[in-house]
Amino acid sequence: HKHQDPLERFYNGH
Amino acid sequence: MLEAKLDAASQLKKIVEAIRDMLGECNIECNETGLALQSLDKSHIVLVSLLLGSDGFSEYRCDRGVTLGLNINSLATVLRCANNDDILTLRSEDRANELILTFEDSKADRISEFNLRLMDIDQEYLAIPETEYAATVVMSAAVLQRTLRDLSALSEAVTIEIDKEGIRFSAEGDLGKGSTHFKPCVDMENAENSINITLSEPVSLSFNLQYFSNITKASSLSSTVTLQMTAGMPAQIEYKLPSGHVRYYFAPKIED
């Protein structure tokens, strides 16, 4: 199965 | 204070239509260089980044930074009261709690004025690093929109594969599967129909088609779109404006 990963997984919040 | 004039209200209407399905409330930051917005959609799958340079306005003045906390749907509602060729002016005093929009039809001597309440919005920001993408494709915005719309009849997801042979869009669902392949090409007569691929390595990523279809609502802003992809990273999808851009960072589907 594939799921959509939220963008925080890729970019650090600040 | 901010005072910014556009010769045609349609310019702002199209921008708002390109972002309203993804964004609820967000801050527009204004300074002497122009207007900027960075906001995540509710599910944090798409980040919208809008830049409207001061050169894109027929008149522009912003002495000190102003933050406009707006409900994008309220803005869209007010903009519906403007005719496409009306002259549009945005005004906000320092520390004011409202944005004043005027729509002028100089031929009919009509001036409409609307005051939109501003909000204090506590917003999350993501730091997006400068990225060298593995694949960059410049293609017709209308062709991308049409291709994705066709495939959405088959599935909720599209897989995009880019290699030196071209770019391939494919989808598979209960009724079967389908794909469209575009080879790189140069159209001398209609430059926007050219397909330009720059590649350091082949890439394949899958995306949700509903979000993608919302992104391609920006097709009315630009004849071409730039798609940038790296394996395992969000795609960057950019529509250029006369002075600025609407850019989307789009999280791919990932194996569990």
Ranges assigned E (strand) in chain B? 2-6, 25-31, 34-40, 46-53, 59-62, 66-71, 87-92, 98-105, 110-117, 135-140, 157-163, 166-173, 176-182, 196-199, 203-208, 224-229, 235-241, 244-250, 253-255
Reply yes or no on whether the pLDDT at B62 is more than 90. yes
Q: Do A11 and B40 touch (CB under 8 A)?
A: no
B251 → closest Cβ in A5, A12, A14: A5
Instruction: List the one residue out of A4, A6, A5 whose CA is nearest residue B209.
Output: A4
Chain A residues in contact with B46 (beta carbon < 8 A) = 7
Q: How far is B69 from chain A (nearest CA, A)?
A: 19
Distance CA A3, CA B92 (A): 42
Tell me the pairing of strands B135-140 and B110-117.
Answer: unpaired
Question: At A2, is the pLDDT very low, low, confident or very high (cuts 50, 70, 90)?
Answer: confident
Q: Which two tokens stand for residue B43?
A: 């599910």
Instruction: List the one residue out of B71, B11, B2 whose CA is nearest residue B30.
Output: B2
Q: Output the pLDDT for position B96.
A: 82
How confident is the model over B28-45, as a mean pLDDT?
95
Contacts of B39 (CB under 8 A, 6+ apart): B23, B26, B27, B47, B48, B123
Q: Output the pLDDT for position A1.
A: 65
B127 → closest Cβ in A1, A6, A12: A12
Instruction: List the one residue out of B109, B37, B28 whose CA is nearest residue B66.
Output: B28
Let me know how long chain B is.
256
SS (H, E, C) B55-101: HHCCEEEECCCEEEEEEHHHHHHHHCCCCCCCEEEEEECCCCCEEEE
Chain B residues in contact with A14 (beta carbon < 8 A) = 125-127
pLDDT in tens, B166-182: 999 999 999 999 999 99
A4 → closest Cβ in B40, B124, B251: B251
pLDDT in tens, B94-152: 888 999 999 999 888 999 999 999 999 998 888 899 999 999 999 999 999 999 999 99
Rg (CA), chain B: 20
Q: Which two tokens stand for residue B199?
A: 């590649």
Reply yes or no on whether the pLDDT at A13 is more than 60. no
Q: Which residue of A has its CA nearest to B249?
A: A7
- Percentage above 90 pLDDT, chain B: 91
| Average pLDDT of the residues of chain B | 95
A13 → closest Cβ in B124, B157, B253: B124
Reply yes or no on whether the pLDDT at B46 is more than 50. yes
Reply yes or no on whether the pLDDT at B6 is more than 70. yes
Q: B86: burial class by Cβ within 10 Å (0-12, 13-18, 19+)?
A: buried
B128 touches chain A (CB under 8 A): yes
Q: Which two tokens stand for residue B132?
A: 């060298």
Question: At A14, is the pLDDT very low, low, confident or very high (cuts 50, 70, 90)?
Answer: very low
pLDDT in tens, B194-223: 999 999 999 999 999 999 999 999 999 999
Sign of CA dihedral B146, B150, B152, B158: negative
Chain B contacts in chain A segment 1-14 (CB below 8 A): 1-14
